[in-house]
Amino acid sequence: MISAVNAAASAATAKAPSQVLGQADFIRLMTTQMKQQDPTDPVDNKEMIAQMAQFSSLSGIENINSTLKAISAQLDQALAAKAASTPA
């Protein structure tokens, strides 16, 4: 089961090594994991919830990162405008 997930992750990263795995990749890995698991020994619910919680946290961090980048860009523009309007 784990080897199937690792193989799917390797295939996803082999396509484009410079890209970061996204939400679609997570869903693909999760469905592959569910398809490959042994019905007599399924993945523990706690593990599945932990994986989903980690992905949710990561998604939130990515949103915060993009917001901070936008704020930084606006501050850079404001500082450049201020520097341009200040006489030397």
Q: Give, for 28, the enclosing helix (H) or strand (E).
A: helix 23-36
* Host domain of residue 63: 45-88
Q: Are residues 31 and 12 in the same domain?
A: yes
Q: Are residues 20 and 35 in the same domain?
A: yes
Name which residue leads in pLDDT, 8 or 75: 75
Q: Are residues 33 and 54 in the same domain?
A: no
Q: Are residues 27 and 49 in the same domain?
A: no
Give dist(CA 44, CA 22) in Å, integer.
24
pLDDT at position 2 over 70? no
Q: Give tens-digit pLDDT for 34-88.
A: 888 877 877 788 888 888 888 888 888 989 999 999 999 999 999 999 988 887 6
Q: Give tens-digit pLDDT for 10-25.
A: 554 455 455 677 778 8
- Residue 74's CB is within 10 A of a number of other CB atoms, namely 10
Q: What is the pTM of this model?
A: 0.50
Give dist(CA 2, CA 33) in Å, integer.
8
Give dist(CA 35, CA 82) in Å, integer.
58
